[in-house]
Structure 1
Amino acid sequence: MYQYSRRYSGPLEAVILDLAGTCVDFGSRAPILAFQKLFADLDIELSETQARGPMGTEKREHIAQLLALPEIAQQWQARFGHWPSDTDISRLYETFVPVQLKTIQDRTELINGALALQDYCVAANIALAANTGYSRAMAEAVLPSIHTQGLHFSSVVCATEVPRGRPWPHMSLQNALELGVSTLQACVKVDDTGTGIEEGLNAGMWTVAVATSGNAVGLDLDDWQQLSRAEQGVLRRRAYQTLATSGAHYVIDSIADLPATLTLIQHRLTQGEKP
């Protein structure tokens, strides 16, 4: 009996980046600030750790998951006399959107290394794309600034534009369709959240998690830089450990380290390895 083993050993074709915490908004602060304001205005206490739990998911789903937390649901019941309902989720989402748009517009600066990554991809003929848990309106609050700063994507997919957001693979698959890639093994998904890494894994892609610039540390760049090396080391190790459990093929500090990682992945592809 014979078995046929099929291996791809060609070039990388696409890199798909998350937005907040990956290529813009060091610390992924914009979503957190919006969620905390949303609940504070209702006199409901929401910690940053709680707010960050569902990070990476579509924002209405994020709100639903927050309201499902027992400590949040109990506060809601005490405040309004009933447990959170689907109608409550929809109303909260409508209130959340303008708050989120404001915080996004305030945090559009590219993370260091984004333009160098683009140069690497252009030289290697690798398409650069993005997907996000933001809606299209939210994405449009940041994309013009991204373009003005010199970063350009060949495809941008939002969670509200596919049947299901992360951790389902639909956004990455839609990116791949729009880019016209020949095989998913030639794609790399880069994200700062476990659910974003799951998305890439579920799509059959290589995955790279960014630790210090994103959700796992969660600090603004200025706050991060004010820490001592020892303090940074503690937070970095904790973030690496958290993201390693997501199944990411690689964990790096930020996209400044991504070109070197892409070179390693390309070598593994040449050897016929699969994600």
Structure 2
Amino acid sequence: MPNPTPHTSPIELVVMDMAGTTVADDGLVLDAFDAAATSVGLPEEGPEREAARKYVLDTMGQSKIEVFRALFDSEEDAQSANRAFERAYDARIDGGVTPVPVAAETIARLRGAGISVVLTTGFSPTTQGRIVDALGWQDLPDAFLAPGEFGRGRPHPDLVLSAALHVQVSDMAAVAVVGDTSNDIRSGLRAGAPVVAGVLTGAHGADQLRDAGATHVLDSIAEFPALVLN
């Protein structure tokens, strides 16, 4: 894609998504969803399963428990499916997740330039921690945030606002957000970030990201520093 137009105002914080943006998981989300759906009795084949899988793809980036609440009639089934999803995903993390090319270098470059970086997810804190441990990223960003303790998941603005509070930015105009899903984009816009960039290494394509309001669409996280480093 063409080089993005740089953002001219100083950026103090970048809020980055994990799966699909900085972390590749080779389809583990859908695999884990299928295991979870089967565990609560959703037919393994047919229109009901296909509709549920489409919903999972369309809502990538959201808190997983909220996705299951939308799919299943009872809170008990939603919680059971969420637990099964986490077990299935966690069992596949070792050897199943890898960094998106130059993601770690991009984070280090931004922090070296004095910009704080916070990594966020729609997974539970436990699953996020397992991914971080598998990658050895414990000290890479300034912080890791997940739904729950730090508020609602995407598309709500809570994680972006919590990140801004955590690093004590001077103004929301100094915050940039980057992710691979429409929900990442909506979350950033609702939080008031002036730079809300989509990347094409994950769940959603350029049209979906632009329709959600992305200020920039990039091939990958590798192009992101050009937006915010002047």
| C-alpha displacement of 1:257 | 1.4
The one-letter code sitting in structure 2 at the alignment partner of 1:198 is R
2:118 is equivalent to residue 129 of structure 1: yes
CA distance in 1, matches of 2:130, 2:56: 21
CA distance in 1, matches of 2:164, 2:157: 11
Could you say what secondary structure the match of 1:245 adopts?
Answer: helix
Q: Of 27, 32, 35, which residue of structure 2 is paired with 1:34?
A: 32
Q: Is the 8 A contact 1:24 1:111 kept in 2?
A: yes
Q: 1:92 to 1:127 in 2, by over 3 A?
A: same
The TM-score normalised by the length of structure 1 is: 0.72
Q: CA RMSD in A?
A: 2.1
User: Which segment drifts farther, 248-257 or 155-164?
Assistant: 155-164
Match of 2:161 in 1: 173
| Aligned sequence identity (%) | 27
Q: Of 192, 212, 226, which residue of structure 2 is paired with 1:246?
A: 212
Report how many residues are paired: 215
CA distance in 2, matches of 1:30, 1:104: 8
| C-alpha displacement of 1:86 | 2.0
CA distance in 2, matches of 1:153, 1:120: 11
Q: Is the 8 A contact 1:38 1:96 kept in 2?
A: yes
The one-letter code sitting in structure 1 at the alignment partner of 2:59 is P
Q: 1:193 to 1:37 in 2, by over 3 A?
A: same
CA distance in 2, matches of 1:135, 1:61: 11
The one-letter code sitting in structure 2 at the alignment partner of 1:94 is R
2:68 is equivalent to residue 66 of structure 1: no
The TM-score normalised by the length of structure 2 is: 0.85
Q: Is the 8 A contact 2:10 2:228 kept in 1?
A: no
User: Which segment drifts farther, 85-94 or 194-203?
Assistant: 85-94
| C-alpha displacement of 1:19 | 0.7
Match of 2:54 in 1: 49
| C-alpha displacement of 1:168 | 1.0
Match of 1:71 in 2: none
| C-alpha displacement of 1:10 | 5.0
CA distance in 2, matches of 1:172, 1:107: 27
The one-letter code sitting in structure 2 at the alignment partner of 1:30 is L
